[in-house]
Structure 1
Amino acid sequence: MKTNEELQRDVQNAIKWEPLLNAAEIGVTAKDGVITLTGVVDSYSKKTEAENAAKSVTGVKAVAETIEVNYGSSFKKNDTEIANEVLNAWKWNWEVPADKIKVKVESGWVTLEGELEWNYQREAAKKAVANLTGVKGVSNNITIKSESKDAVEQAAVECALERSWSIDDEDVDVKVKGNRVTLTGTVSSLYQKDEAGRLAWNAPGVYSVDNELLVDFDD
C-alpha cells in the first residue's frame, strides 16, 4: 500500500511526464488514495489531461479535480463564436452525427444534449469540443439508445474484458439485465475501471453501464 507521500509523488511525476502540462501550474495532494488537483491552466484540454494522468497512476482510488481554466484578459471569444466552432469541429469528424446533437454555451461552458446510437459517438463529440479554445468545461448529457432491440449478450461483454491486456477479468463480474450492464468487483487503478466501462459500452444494444468497480491496490 502506497503512503500518501508516495502516491502524491507518483501523480506529480505522471503530470510532469505529459508534454502538454506544466507541473508548476498544478497542485497535487493525496489522502487515503484520493487525489486532489488544484491550480489554473490556460485550456480545457490541459485540465482533462491532468485528470487523466492522475487516473493512470496505480493506487489512485478517486480524483477530485478543481483546476480552473483561465484564458487571460486578452481572450475575446464569446459564447456564440464558441458554439459555431463546436459545430464546425463536428463537420470534420466522421464519428459525430452532428444533426442529432444540440449544443448550448454559457460563459464558456458547453452542454451537449441529444440521443445517439453508440457511446463512442458521444465520447467523440466531447473530445472534439474539449480541444477548442475558449471552452472552460463540458457537460455531456447525450444519452445512448441503440437501434438494436435485442438484450445485451453477457458473454460478449465478458469476452471483451478477457481480451484486454490491462484488465484482470477474473476480478470483474458482469451482470446484464435487458440493455443495462453492471460491472462489479475490483481493479487496481482508475484507468482499469474506465477501460472496463469503455469496453462494456462497446457491446451492441447497450443503453447504460453501471460501473461499480472498486479500485483496490495493496501492493
Structure 2
Amino acid sequence: MKTNEKLQNEIQDAIKWETSLDAFEISVVVNDGVVTLTGTVDSSSKIVEAENAAKKVSGVKVIIEKMEVDCRHVCKKDNEIADEVIKALKLNMTVLQKKIVIKVHRGWIYLNGTLDWNYQREFANKVVSDISGVKGIINNIKIKSELKDPIEKQTIENILDQNWTINYNTIHVDVLGCKVTLIGTVDYRYEKDEAERVAWNIPGICDVDNELTIKYFA
C-alpha cells in the first residue's frame, strides 16, 4: 500500500502532465486513499481535468473536490455566457443542440432536454465547460431509450467481465427496463467510474444507478 506522501506526489505529477492545468493552483491532500483537491482555477473544465487526472492514479479511493472557479479576470453576465453556450453547441453539435434547453444563473449553466446517447450528453457537458467564466454545470439531460428487445443482464455482466480494469467478481448487476443498477464493492475510484462508463455504452440504456462502494468505506 502506498504511503500518503507517495500517493500525493503521484497525483501532483499527474496534474503537472495536464498541459491545461497549473499545478501551482491546485493543492493535493491525501489520507489513506482519500484525496482532497483544493485551489482556484479560471474555468470549470479545469476542475474536471484535475479530478480525472487524480482518478487515474492507482491507490485513489475517493476524491473530495473543493476547488473553486475565480472569474475575476473573465467575469461575464449570464446573457453573455448563454450566447457563448448556444454558439458552442451549434458549432460542435449541429442538429443535436436543438434538443438541449439552456439556462444560465449566476455563472452556473443548467442543461435540460433529451438525447439518444450518453456520450452526447457528456460531450455537451464538455463543450460548455470549456467556456471561460463558467462557475459550474448542472447536467439534467435525459437519455431516450429506443429499446426494442429487453436488455439482457448477462450481456452487461459479460461486457464488464471482459474489461481488465474492473474486478467484476465483486459487482452485481440489476436490470429494470432500460435502467441498470450496479451494486457491490471495488478497490478504487477508477473502477467505479469505468464500470458505469461501460454500462452506459450498452445500446438501449437510459439510466445507470451506480451504487458501487469503494472498499475503504464498505
Q: What is the CA distance between 1:174 and its match in structure 2?
A: 2.1
1:100 equivalent in structure 2:
99
Aligned letter for 1:64?
A: I
TM-score between both structures, scaled by the size of structure 1? 0.88
Determine if the alignment matches structure 1 residue 201 to structure 2 residue 200.
yes
RMSD after superposition: 2.1
Determine if the alignment matches structure 1 residue 16 to structure 2 residue 11.
no
Q: What is the CA distance between 1:172 and its match in structure 2?
A: 2.9
Q: What is the CA distance between 1:76 and its match in structure 2?
A: 4.6
Q: Is the 8 A contact 1:34 1:60 kept in 2?
A: yes
2:91 & 2:162 partners in 1: Cα distance?
32
Label 1:132 to 1:194 Cα distance change in 2 as closer, same or farther (>3 A): same
Bigger mean CA offset, 142-151 vs 192-201 = 142-151
SS state at 1:93 partner:
helix
Aligned letter for 2:19?
A: P
2:75 & 2:122 partners in 1: Cα distance?
28
2:215 & 2:58 partners in 1: Cα distance?
9
Q: 1:155-194: per-residue Cα shift (whole Å, max 9, x none)?
A: 3222332343422333433221222212233333322221
1:72 equivalent in structure 2:
72
Q: What is the CA distance between 1:6 and its match in structure 2?
A: 2.7
Percent identity reads: 54
Unaligned runs of 5+ in 2: none
Unaligned runs of 5+ in 1: none
Label 1:96 to 1:107 Cα distance change in 2 as closer, same or farther (>3 A): farther
1:206 & 1:41 partners in 2: Cα distance?
35
1:85 & 1:150 partners in 2: Cα distance?
40
TM-score between both structures, scaled by the size of structure 2? 0.89
2:91 & 2:171 partners in 1: Cα distance?
37
1:117-132 matched pairs, under 5 angstroms: 117-132=116-131
1:208 & 1:215 partners in 2: Cα distance?
21
2:155 equivalent in structure 1:
156
2:215 & 2:3 partners in 1: Cα distance?
14
2:40 equivalent in structure 1:
40
Aligned letter for 1:31?
A: N
1:145 equivalent in structure 2:
144
1:82 equivalent in structure 2:
81
1:116 & 1:10 partners in 2: Cα distance?
38
Q: What is the CA distance between 1:137 and its match in structure 2?
A: 0.7
Q: 1:116-141: per-residue Cα shift (whole Å, max 9, x none)?
A: 22211111110111111221111111
For these two proteins, the number of residue pairs brought into alignment is 216
Q: What is the CA distance between 1:212 and its match in structure 2?
A: 2.0
Label 1:69 to 1:96 Cα distance change in 2 as closer, same or farther (>3 A): farther
Label 1:159 to 1:126 Cα distance change in 2 as closer, same or farther (>3 A): same
